[in-house]
């Protein structure tokens, strides 16, 4: 649900601005969809990397809109919140990776 809201918002905004940010938004939607199989079937390293890519694309779209002078507080709030949450989840996944390595050493 969150992905559909963010994807619809960014695609609508990028089409309305008439710029190249449509491609960033389209790639961001593909990465967002790739999060589901990465979370279910992928390793923790793959999930962490997809989450970091998601955060980088969100920051790219946010900076693009802010440089254009876009003033929608709702859109900026969604992009900032999504970026912060992706970084938070990537950090949690990284902690899981480090804990797994620590437990492997202790065996």
- Residue-wise pLDDT tens digits, 47-71: 999 999 988 888 887 787 777 776 6
Q: Which range is least confidently modeled, 6-10, 33-37, 54-58, 80-84? A: 6-10
The answer to whether the CB of 51 falls within 8 A of the CB of 28 is: no
pLDDT at residue number 49: 92
Instruction: Indicate the domain borders of the chain.
Output: 2-106
pTM, two decimals, is: 0.77
* Segment 71-75 mean pLDDT: 74
**48 is written with which tokens?**
């962490």
86: nearest Cα among 32, 19, 11: 32
């Amino acid at each position: 649900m969150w992905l559909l809201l963010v994807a619809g918002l960014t695609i609508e905004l990028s089409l309305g601005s008439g710029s190249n940010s449509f491609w960033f938004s389209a790639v961001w939607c593909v990465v967002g969809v790739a999060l589901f199989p990465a979370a279910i079937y992928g390793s923790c390293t793959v999930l962490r990397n997809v989450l970091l890519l998601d955060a980088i694309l969100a920051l790219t779209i946010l900076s693009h809109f802010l440089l254009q002078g876009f003033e929608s507080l709702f859109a900026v709030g969604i992009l900032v919140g999504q970026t912060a949450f992706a970084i938070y989840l990537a950090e949690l996944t990284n902690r899981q990776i480090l804990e797994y390595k620590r437990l492997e050493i202790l065996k």
